[in-house]
């Protein structure tokens, strides 16, 4: 491998000749051999840095054109566009496990953009710190990148994924109108419910989760950029914070504003904690929905078997013909991961000392992993399982009419205690509710038939 010599305030460093990064990125690459190639800084953060660095250059060009010249802006903008597109991803090698402020990832962006901008310009035009990092600090750029990436992944990935599943549930509700089945509470028989009503509970849970995520999005729209090192805005021109938020909004197509209090924006991660809580709420609902589906599909002969789901792959290396609810299992495992990530995000947010939180990379990593995994799990669950759900009407009918909790319909006529006696006798002697009720003398067969209509109990 060929190398070139770069330097920083600590001296000279050998850097791979074919990479745009420079000395500070290389030092981090060498000093943090933790999770290399596996736990790289999320590409959503890299993408966000491309947006915010271009926005900063545009803002600086308007506020201090003598330093951020049109020539520099043109070269920087073109380099940032390549970062945004992902074509320079190979030049962002740093792992999550680095400095807690994300300084090295900020410098990675500064160095890559500067060197690529210089290549575009055909001369040494831009300096990583003086030009790409102009009016900024790692302490305000990294939290800004966190908020940009969070808004983008929630609006563009997680919400659409959940909405796709909601739409499938709506279709299933329409297809299953009029099918009555046994309800279940505490994993025990309960009074009847229609299958469409059961599905509507799943749908509404996700609709509420989207509402919660949208509430959590609003605080994430506030950006720390302009606070620089400790929140005072040192070395940033007046109006930079407002201008750069406007430019980020234009470039991202999302609404962003400058944070009202930069001291809070640098040290507190409460917005990330709150938003991840909404992600966790969706994960909890997905855990419940996936469990319901695999319980209802259990069998095929000695389980509940009230629905069938697609057979996607063989389920056993020893039992021929076995098929398992694998999409449900994937969803539930992702839900567990999200719940674990929520602990990490909360712990990281609690570790801000004085003017800066220094657990930002791990908070960003877990937040983005949760949103990404949950989005992809929901889409896979929808496409490979939910769209193929079919009700077994005969099994639902048989289970319904075999349920002892239908006795609840008799409460108004024979009272709670007599109804309980009827249920117990039917269970103990393995006879029907009608037979038990008549045997106990609470009703005649004709009276029972007149008031006992399970399909009307929903």
Query: How many CB atoms neighbour CB 418 within 10 A?
Result: 18
Domain range 3-134, its CATH number among 1.20.1090.10, 3.20.20.190, 3.40.50.720, 1.10.275.10: 1.10.275.10
**Cβ(299)–Cβ(309) below 8 Å:** no
Any residues with CB less than 8 A from the CB of 414 and at least 6 apart, and which? 422, 437, 442, 443
| Sequence ranges of the domains in the chain | 3-134, 140-175+189-237+263-391, 403-456
Which helix (H) or strand (E) segment holds residue 258: the answer is: strand 257-258
Digit-coded pLDDT (tens) for 304-340: 999 999 999 999 999 999 999 999 999 999 999 999 9
**What value, to the nearest 5°, has the Cα angle with vertex 200 and ends 153 and 291?**
70
pLDDT value at residue 99? 96
CA distance 167 to 162: 9
List % helix, strand, coil for the chain (3-state, nearest 5). 65, 10, 30
CA diameter of the chain: 101
- Omega before residue 300 within 30° of 0, cis: yes
**Cβ(105)–Cβ(142) below 8 Å:** yes
CATH architecture of 140-175+189-237+263-391: Up-down Bundle (1.20)
CA distance 413 to 92: 74
Catalytic residues: 186, 316
Structural fold of domain 403-456 = Ribonucleotide Reductase Protein R1; domain 1 (1.10.40)
In 3D space, the residue among 272, 36, 244 whose CA is nearest the CA of residue 153 turns out to be 272
Q: Up-side HSE of residue 41: CA atoms within 13 Å toward CB?
A: 33
Any residues with CB less than 8 A from the CB of 294 and at least 6 apart, and which? 325, 328, 329
pLDDT value at residue 1? 86
pLDDT value at residue 277? 98
For the chain, the C-alpha Rg in angstroms (whole number) is: 30
Digit-coded pLDDT (tens) for 172-206: 999 999 999 999 999 999 999 999 999 999 999 99
Tens of pLDDT, residue by residue, the chain (458 residues): 899 999 989 999 999 999 999 999 999 999 999 999 999 999 999 999 999 999 999 999 999 999 999 999 999 999 999 999 999 999 999 999 999 999 999 999 999 999 999 999 999 999 999 999 999 999 999 999 999 999 999 999 999 999 999 999 999 999 999 999 999 999 999 999 999 999 999 999 999 999 999 999 999 999 999 999 999 999 999 999 999 999 999 999 999 999 999 999 999 999 999 999 999 999 999 999 999 999 999 999 999 999 999 999 999 999 999 999 999 999 999 999 999 999 999 999 998 899 999 999 999 999 999 999 999 999 999 999 999 999 999 999 999 999 999 999 999 999 999 999 999 999 999 999 999 999 999 999 999 999 999 999 99
């Amino acid at each position: 491998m060929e190398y070139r010599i770069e330097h920083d305030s600590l001296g000279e460093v050998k850097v791979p000749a074919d990479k745009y990064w420079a000395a500070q990125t290389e030092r981090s690459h060498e000093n943090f051999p933790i999770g290399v190639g596996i736990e790289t800084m999320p590409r959503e953060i890299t993408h966000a840095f491309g947006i915010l660095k271009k926005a900063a250059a545009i803002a600086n060009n308007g506020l201090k054109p003598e330093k951020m010249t049109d020539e520099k802006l043109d070269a920087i903008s073109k380099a940032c566009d390549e970062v945004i597109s992902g074509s320079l991803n190979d030049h962002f090698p740093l792992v999550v496990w680095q400095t807690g402020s994300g300084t090295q990832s900020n410098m990675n962006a500064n160095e890559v953009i500067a060197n690529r901008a210089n290549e575009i310009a055909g001369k040494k035009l831009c300096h990583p710190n003086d030009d790409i990092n102009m009016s900024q600090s790692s302490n305000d750029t990294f939290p800004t990148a966190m908020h940009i990436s969070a808004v983008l992944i929630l609006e563009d990935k997680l919400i659409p994924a959940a909405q796709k599943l909601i739409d499938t549930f709506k279709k299933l509700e329409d297809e299953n109108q009029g099918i009555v089945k046994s309800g279940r509470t505490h994993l025990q028989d309960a009074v009847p419910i229609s299958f469409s009503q059961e599905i509507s509970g799943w749908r509404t849970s996700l609709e509420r989760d989207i509402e919660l995520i949208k509430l959590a999005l609003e605080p994430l729209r506030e950006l720390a950029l302009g606070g620089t090192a400790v929140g005072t805005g040192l070395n940033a021109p007046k109006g930079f914070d407002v201008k750069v938020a406007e430019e980020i909004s234009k470039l991202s197509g999302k609404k962003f504003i400058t944070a009202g209090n930069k001291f809070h924006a640098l040290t507190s991660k409460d917005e990330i904690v709150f938003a991840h809580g909404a992600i966790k709420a969706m994960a909890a609902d997905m855990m419940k929905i996936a469990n319901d589906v695999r319980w209802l599909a259990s069998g095929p002969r000695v389980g509940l078997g009230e629905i069938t789901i697609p057979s996607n792959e063989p389920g056993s290396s020893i039992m021929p013909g076995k098929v398992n609810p694998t999409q449900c299992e994937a969803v539930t495992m992702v839900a567990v991961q999200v719940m674990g990530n929520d602990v990490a995000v909360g712990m990281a947010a609690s570790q801000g000392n004085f003017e800066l939180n220094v657990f930002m990379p791990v908070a960003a990593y877990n937040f983005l992993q949760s949103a990404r995994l949950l989005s992809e799990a929901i889409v896979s669950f929808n496409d490979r399982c939910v769209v193929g759900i079919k009700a077994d009407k005969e099994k639902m009918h048989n289970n319904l009419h075999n349920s002892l909790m239908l006795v609840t319909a008799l409460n108004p006529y024979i009272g709670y205690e007599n109804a309980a006696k009827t249920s117990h006798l039917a269970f103990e002697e393995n006879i029907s509710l009608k037979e038990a009720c008549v045997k106990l003398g609470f009703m005649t067969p004709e009276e029972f038939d007149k008031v006992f209509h399970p399909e009307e109990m929903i």
